[in-house]
Chains A and B, each alone.
Chain A
């Protein structure tokens, strides 16, 4: 971004883009990176299948704390049931 600003502020034939233009252009580039760049990178890295699975399952892969992840609400009781309250587990194990 620093490079972008420097590039934009180099005078060319008397034309010097304003700082506001730099900001607008940066925002457009950011938008394009997200909408086109990220899907492309996903393919290029060979992560398409995995990323599609994450999208289909609606996982907030960037969510950093467990209460922000919807799936945790189902996972927790499921694990508790499997370990503590699974019917007949003891009999089956014997």
Chain B
């Protein structure tokens, strides 16, 4: 999908409004530009005594009528044509968001959220401007200038017209050059502003350190320097931007100078009437605005093109995870055969030759250091990354043949990052489905040991959390995410280091609850703490992507290997340190 194609579709969809808008625009331009002609005619009637007062008044009424008609038509075409730029903005942004939703986790690992939001806001705005001012001012300018030049050259005087138009290319050239310079310097101003913002933010966030190490003086001196630089950058821009208006004005007054000297001679020699002279002056004024706009239009189109290119890049991204169509799964036993896996765009495998079986109804504990591949395993079971064919099976069906919807519906996953949406706790826990009842939500909260915590919040389950609401502690957030997974009533439950921020007592309680839930389900518990997996039916110890030990807790302890050492280091430490401290 390309931006061009999307835009073409959009225009096709709204083609009628475009045709109507352009037709009315033509009519409006012709009518508005009749007014100077009428005023010219009135001038002649007045000066040459060609008409009576009443005839003149009829012309005046005609002029007002044209003005009102021009206004109505102008409103209509603007509603159509300018309105379309708002349509295209929403249209594109909806497409973009829908597209983003299809992109895999890997894409989000490689792109910062802020950048993606900028695509959706700034770049789409740039395209909106192309459809708005960029397109409308262009077409209106072309029309007005064509009609004006036609009136000027055809009904008044061609040579005068040429003279009056002579400075136009100069104005265009000068404004385009100035605007480009202004843009460059303005970007520097914005950058300087951003630098100042960052500095202040850093200072305020680190105010404790600033104060603890008595850094106030240095901070003030540094800030003063930055702020002074800001003055310089700003003045550099103003020196150019301040010239734009005066310079164009001077250029245009050259036209006016020609017009007075040559035009009055034409009147005096009788080649044109005084009325023509007056009307001509109005046309010159009408031409001015579109000419000044040209530089802006060029800029808008350039920016739009750059933004379209950036958006193209996003739209051309596709998911590398193919959907399967198997949606019937009876038994939730997991089997992994000879799995070696490296993340997309990398060569180093993070999982090496993994073989394991988790019969349905049993629980597997995975233990290992950070970076040993524990989380990767969970990610693959959820198919967040492309899984090679023939290595992971659920119910003896290759995981790639199972429809992603079914798969993810059946798996309750508690990820390491305890992300919650900024809405109520109730909707965060009931995230999985609208039909989740309050009882189910409360039960899930009870099972994950966060029920009492929630009741203590100002509005209980209806308390808004996240950016717009209150902040939960890490442990509370973790338990809410557990509740969110439990409420799904999943067939497979995966906990990825989900109790790391929870205190010991609560962890015990939650693990107890989870054990009872897992009796009839397949469970995978990932942790770096032995205590979390101690009761699993089977434990594997991952080290650098390989299973180096596996068995039950007792078997592994008897091995006296890595697992044993880890267990001892985690449990004996206090006593040992106490001895060492003596």
Pair from one complex: no
